[in-house]
Amino acid sequence: MAIPTIMRPVMYATQTREVLSGRINIGGSGAVTSLVNLPVLFIARTGAGTYAVTLCKDATSAASAAATAYGVNDWEVRPSLKSAAGTVVTVGVTAEAPTSGTMTLVTRNAAGAATDPASGDVVFLEVCTEKFSV
């Protein structure tokens, strides 16, 4: 007598990848003056050289960014900068939560202290996201 085989449905996960790549133009006192090619990010200066970044569907205001924030399963964040004045020498991610779509970027001077970039400096940002669904 043959033992019946139990058929189980096969589930496939789909993976969606997205690459966001652009620049953040800095004005006086480290303020963000414009974003180039980053329409789904909201960026706010929260302190000297510190910026809160939110991945969102509506980046027109802090309230709309918070209301439309979305997370991903994972991401890789690659920040870099161009500082003509040399005020800041590095930029990095100090906190991140891909599943809620938030991160914190910090620019630092040669001594390692969080420092505002000078007016005219540019922070380049590339975010590679991965989202899985079944």
Residues ≥6 apart with Cβ < 8 Å to 22: 35, 36, 37, 38, 124, 125
CA-angle at 93, arms to 112 and 54, nearest 5°: 135
User: What is the C-alpha separation between 113 and 66, in angstroms, rounded?
Assistant: 29
Q: Which domain holds residue 72?
A: 21-133
Confidence bin at 3 (pLDDT 50/70/90): low
Q: Over the stretch 33-82, which tens digit does the pLDDT of each residue have?
A: 999 998 888 999 999 999 999 998 888 888 888 898 888 888 999 999 99
Domain assignment of residue 97, yes or no: yes
Q: Over the stretch 6-38, which tens digit does the pLDDT of each residue have?
A: 655 555 566 788 888 999 999 999 999 999 998
Asked if 50 and 93 touch (Cβ cutoff 8 Å), the reply is no
Domain assignment of residue 2, yes or no: no
Domain assignment of residue 95, yes or no: yes
The secondary structure of residue 29, as a DSSP letter, is G
Residues ≥6 apart with Cβ < 8 Å to 134: 11, 12, 13, 14
How many folded domains does the chain comprise?
1
Q: What is the pTM of this model?
A: 0.84
The per-residue pLDDT for 47 is: 96
